[in-house]
Amino acid sequence: MRRCRFTPVVLLQLTFYAGLRDEFWTDNELGEHHWSKHFPYCGGAFQSPIDIKSELLRFDPTLRPIEVQNYNLSPNEQLTLGNNGHSVQISLPPKMYISSLPHRYTAAQLHFHWGSSSRPAGSEHMVNSKQYAAEMHVVHFNSDKYHNMSMAVDKSDGLAVLGVLIEVGEFNPAFEHFLKFINGIKYRGQKVQLSGFNVRALLPARLDEYYRYDGSLTTPPCYPSVLWTVFRNHITISHKQFLDLSTALYSSHAQDLTHVPLNGNYRKSQLVDSRVVLVSFKEGRGLHGPLTVTSPLIRKRIVQQLLVGDLADLADERLYQLLPSGSEKLHAGKEKELKEQESETLDKVKKQTLNPSPARKSQTNRFVGKLGLAEDAMCYISLEKRVSLQLKQRHTENQLVRALRDAVFLELNFKSYLDCKSDLALPTIRHILRGRPTDEAFELDRSLTKALMNHRKTSTTIKKSVPGTNYGSLSPATVPGKPHNQGYPHPWLLPMEWED
């Protein structure tokens, strides 16, 4: 998808977003419930925050420690502390950046989400359903590709946010650098200047242990443009410091007749979709889930085989691993067998992907471009306009949220899967197969379609069954040409119908 440039209309649209977003935060429950009516992406795919549960976690040994540059600011440097109606925000100078990601991500601002004095639980992300007292977000934009935050905010590779969980406990001297000015920004729109300080002191001591996943802005317009890094270790602030943050501010203007307290400014947990959460650590506290059975290299080569390889071989040996929960629910006794098959499969995949026919090469290149895997990132404003126009022509404006979700999910899921940040969901597999006009692809797509329909009808039954030993409502008689295989790990995937 081509990169889009901001027009005056788009800038006006973003200004409207900012104003309306503040109004939504004045009533967290009602406002959040209605976000998608005004901002379609808020009801879309890959939304944040999420509950980071153990079953979602996968250890990735390639994740490097987070490296931040120029976070220790001089006292001579001036920062702006403001109340924007939905949070406390500190502007950050462009010399601050993250250097450990594929692109350079330059700091723009940091802000907070918190609970209330009566309920000190206001973090957006949760860990195994535990909600912390507050959460800090340090927002960065991809300065290698975009000139500023406004240009990057709606691009699929536009933003990277560092999330820090905050618990009430010991006094935190770093917070005093701005909390002592909190009474100067009691009302929405108020700003004060403060001296630079060591922003690094706001982060946990260890920057090498974190959760990583693809997600979105947690306020409207909710673009799924954020590479999230949520640190494993929380920081603490004292009870008095938490009260300073949660009781001193209002989301209304000073001149308003009624003053609305600013607290509880967090978004509820969102659907995980087919995402997984990568972790940079393995041991300790029971927070790590099962490791991926297949390596990132194997996973990527399976996708290449799906694009250009022998589909019958893929279905026989590895297709189930592309599906959500496929690799996590294997029998323990099957892992050894899987490892023994891995080298053989690697050789097959390597031959098929390194030496494809010219026809397959050209078809694959077209498909990769179609999925948005080229250099240009997805532009969400452009996509929303195009989908909205198509729907209006069909007189189905009320389907915008659903249509945008479907359009965005396929591309984000595929791109994220290649970096092992998500599972490759069935709709994405079928989308890939439609790009291969062969009998084998048609047969496999038809088999997957049947499997998907049966899975939807019997999802409740399957959840209660033992993984890997029950086909749910699919009896062996419904599996053409293949006897029931007790070792087949995915109960609702039909084998290929043409196989011997």
For residue 39, the model assigns a pLDDT of: 94
- For residue 258, report the phi and psi dihedrals to the nearest 5 degrees: -115, 140
- For residue 194, report the phi and psi dihedrals to the nearest 5 degrees: -140, 155
Identify the burial level of 347 via C-beta atoms within 10 angstroms of its C-beta, where 0-12 means exposed, 13-18 middle and 19 or more buried. Answer: exposed
For residues 39 and 122, give the distance between their C-alpha atoms in angstroms, rounded to a whole number. 23
The two structure tokens encoding residue 161: 């946010």
- Beta-strand runs (E) in 283-361: none
Cβ-defined contacts of 14-22 (< 8 Å, 24+): 14/150, 14/153, 17/220, 17/221, 20/220, 21/86, 21/219, 21/220, 21/221, 22/84, 22/85, 22/86, 22/188, 22/251
The β-bridge relationship of strands 51-52 and 130-131 is: unpaired
For residues 244 and 133, give the distance between their C-alpha atoms in angstroms, rounded to a whole number. 13
Among residues 220, 216, 183, 177, the alpha carbon closest in space to that of 90 is found at 177
For residue 191, the model assigns a pLDDT of: 98
Chain centre distance of CA 287: 19
- For residue 305, report the phi and psi dihedrals to the nearest 5 degrees: -65, -35
Q: What is the mean pLDDT of each run of 10 residues along the chain (500 residues)?
A: 43 43 48 90 96 92 95 97 96 97 97 95 97 98 96 96 98 97 96 97 98 97 97 98 96 94 96 93 58 63 81 67 49 44 47 46 44 65 90 76 91 87 85 85 79 62 42 29 38 42
Domains annotated on the chain, with CATH:
8-279 (3.10.200.10), 296-459 (no CATH)
For residues 465 and 62, give the distance between their C-alpha atoms in angstroms, rounded to a whole number. 35
Collapsing DSSP states into helix, strand and coil, what is residue 49?
coil
| Torsion angle of the four alpha carbons 324, 328, 330, 335, in this order, in degrees rounded to the nearest 10 | 130
The b/e string for 415-435 (b: 16+ C-beta within 10 A; e otherwise) is bbbbbbbbbbbbebbbbbbeb
For residue 458, the model assigns a pLDDT of: 58
- For residue 131, report the phi and psi dihedrals to the nearest 5 degrees: -105, 130
For residue 463, the model assigns a pLDDT of: 45
For residues 140 and 199, give the distance between their C-alpha atoms in angstroms, rounded to a whole number. 14
For residue 46, the model assigns a pLDDT of: 97
- Catalytic residue (one of 33, 34, 38, 86): 86
For residue 369, the model assigns a pLDDT of: 47
For residues 384 and 390, give the distance between their C-alpha atoms in angstroms, rounded to a whole number. 10
Specify the residue for token string 């996973």: 299
For residue 500, the model assigns a pLDDT of: 34
**Which residues make Cβ contacts (< 8 Å) with residue 192, sequence separation at least 6?**
80, 81, 82, 181, 184, 185
Q: 252 and 260 in contact (C-beta within 8 Å)?
A: yes
For residue 66, the model assigns a pLDDT of: 98
Collapsing DSSP states into helix, strand and coil, what is residue 318?
coil
* Residue 483 C-beta-side C-alpha neighbours within 13 Å: 3
- Beta-strand runs (E) in 360-457: none
Q: Kindly state the greatest CA–CA separation across the chain.
A: 78
86 given a catalytic annotation: yes
Beta bridge partners of 141: 106, 159
The b/e string for 242-258 (b: 16+ C-beta within 10 A; e otherwise) is bebbbebbbbbeeeeee
For residues 220 and 212, give the distance between their C-alpha atoms in angstroms, rounded to a whole number. 22
For residue 321, the model assigns a pLDDT of: 60
For residues 123 and 454, give the distance between their C-alpha atoms in angstroms, rounded to a whole number. 39
The two structure tokens encoding residue 263: 């607290």
